[in-house]
Amino acid sequence: MKKILLAVSLCASTALLANDADYHWEFTPTVGGVLPEGNTGLKNSFTFGARIAKNLGNDVWLDQIELGYDRVSNFKVKDSDFDKPDLNSYFLNVVKDIYSFNDNFKLYGLLGGGYMDFSGGSDADTGFGQYGLGLKYYVTDNFATKLEVRDAITFDHGDHFMFYNLGFGVDFGKRAENVAPVVVAPIGDEDGDGVPDNIDKCPGTPAGVVVDEFGCEKVIRLNLGVHFAFDSAKVNDAAKKEIDKVTDYLNTTDNYKVLLEGHTDSTGNANYNQKLSEKRANSVKDVLVKQGLEADRITTVGYGETQPVATNATKEGRAQNRRVDAKFRK
């Protein structure tokens, strides 16, 4: 009983090490001997056998569960009523690494039980419990030599059979390697508008501008019917009726502002046309302010002759290009 308690305490040691098995299975052929307790009438005899073990991996406290088989052919007999029996021993063990001397060399413990089947007319067949210790040295990552001692204690008479083995363990069924997840670099947002650069169709948006899902300024554009005579920035009466549309919209949407965009046709000097387009935008702004709109809600810009909406080759087309448009934005 003391021996069994010792084995259990060894297997439950808090100094136990994790199993780093890279393979699912281990097969171990063995050779060795068995030393029966003196009162059995049996002598020390040669054994051979094999084990097949399931490596449980790092997620389980135990390291292996193994099925084993040992055979003794023609057991040597001291004084018995049967002659040279054969022994077939079948067992199941749990295995736990106890101590690691280095990366390749470790001490392990085992605990289990099984059944001894004696041939030759014997009625000595019996179940047994067993415990043991072993040394395991990895020659390569999947081949190891093992030295092991087990004490098998029979259930019927409490007889002890001391098995000692040399084994050659071969691991197989390599586990899938844990592939590190691919770290995807975060996609930048250089202009800080909340739309990633890879889908931002309008990079460089000024800070604070409300944008749509493509990173472009979210605006409402209104093509006003505000047109001007040639080389003039004067707002005529017909244009003032169109400007009322801007006033009405801004009076109903307090959170919007308006950008007035002035334009010219292509007649004349480009620099002159640029200044003329700015004057036209400011003329419309003056009308809006006189109608009661706050000046800080109105911004103006001139584009000169650069953004025509019609051909400059005809009189009608040039008349359409001499205009002011409105763009509403938050």
How far, in Å, CA of 279 to CA of 273, rounded? Answer: 10
pLDDT at 2: 43
Residue 275 has pLDDT above 70, yes or no: yes
Among 53-62, 77-86, 209-218, whose mean pLDDT is lowest? 77-86
Phi, then psi, of 128 in degrees rounded to 5? -155, 155
pLDDT: is 80 or 49 the higher one?
49
pLDDT at 5: 40
Residue 286 has pLDDT above 80, yes or no: yes
pLDDT in tens, 182-214: 777 778 877 777 788 888 778 877 776 777 777
How far, in Å, CA of 98 to CA of 104, rounded? Answer: 14
Mean pLDDT of 89-104: 94
The answer to whether the beta carbons of residues 246 and 224 sit under 8 Å apart is yes
Share above pLDDT 70 across residues of the chain, in percent, rounded to a whole number: 88
Among 76-80, 87-91, 157-161, 275-279, whose mean pLDDT is lowest? 76-80
Confidence of residue 100 (pLDDT cuts 50, 70, 90): very high
- Which of the listed ranges 118-127, 307-316, 320-329 does the model predict with the highest average pLDDT? 307-316
pLDDT at 112: 96
pLDDT at 85: 81
pLDDT at 140: 92
Take residue 209 and report the two structure tokens written for it.
Answer: 């501008």
Confidence of residue 310 (pLDDT cuts 50, 70, 90): very high
The whole-chain average pLDDT of the chain stands at 84
Mean pLDDT of 40-48: 85
- Which of the listed ranges 67-71, 76-80, 175-179, 257-261 does the model predict with the highest average pLDDT? 67-71
Confidence of residue 155 (pLDDT cuts 50, 70, 90): very high
The answer to whether the beta carbons of residues 250 and 222 sit under 8 Å apart is no
Q: Nearest Cα to 267, choosing from 255, 279, 276, 254?
A: 276
pLDDT at 4: 43
- Relative to beta strand 64-72, strand 219-227 is unpaired
From residue 226, give the alpha-carbon distance in Å to each of 46, 121, 237, 246, 322.
112, 120, 10, 11, 8
How far, in Å, CA of 223 to CA of 206, rounded? Answer: 24
pLDDT at 80: 56
Where do the DSSP E strands lie in the chain? 23-36, 45-55, 64-72, 87-100, 105-118, 126-140, 143-154, 160-174, 219-227, 257-262, 298-302, 323-329
Report the SS3 class of residue 47.
Answer: strand
How far, in Å, CA of 11 to CA of 132, rounded? Answer: 10
How far, in Å, CA of 53 to CA of 281, rounded? Answer: 87
Residue 305 has pLDDT above 90, yes or no: yes
Take residue 276 and report the two structure tokens written for it.
Answer: 């003329």
Q: Which residues of 16-37 are buried (b: 16+ CB within 10 A; e: fewer)?
A: beebebeeeebebebebebbbb
Helix locations, the chain, DSSP H? 2-11, 237-252, 270-290, 315-321
pLDDT at 178: 65
User: What is the pTM for the complete model shown?
Assistant: 0.49
Q: Which CATH number among 1.20.120.450, 3.30.70.1290, 3.30.1330.60, 1.10.3470.10 corresponds to the domain 219-329?
A: 3.30.1330.60
Confidence of residue 118 (pLDDT cuts 50, 70, 90): confident
Residue 19 has pLDDT above 50, yes or no: no
pLDDT at 317: 92
Among 79-88, 131-140, 203-212, whose mean pLDDT is lowest? 79-88
pLDDT at 120: 64
pLDDT in tens, 156-166: 888 899 999 99
Residues in Cβ contact with 189 at an 8 Å cutoff, skipping those fewer than 6 apart: 195, 196, 197, 200
How far, in Å, CA of 290 to CA of 29, rounded? Answer: 103
Q: Where are the domains of the chain?
A: 2-174, 219-329
CATH topology of domain 2-174: Porin (2.40.160)
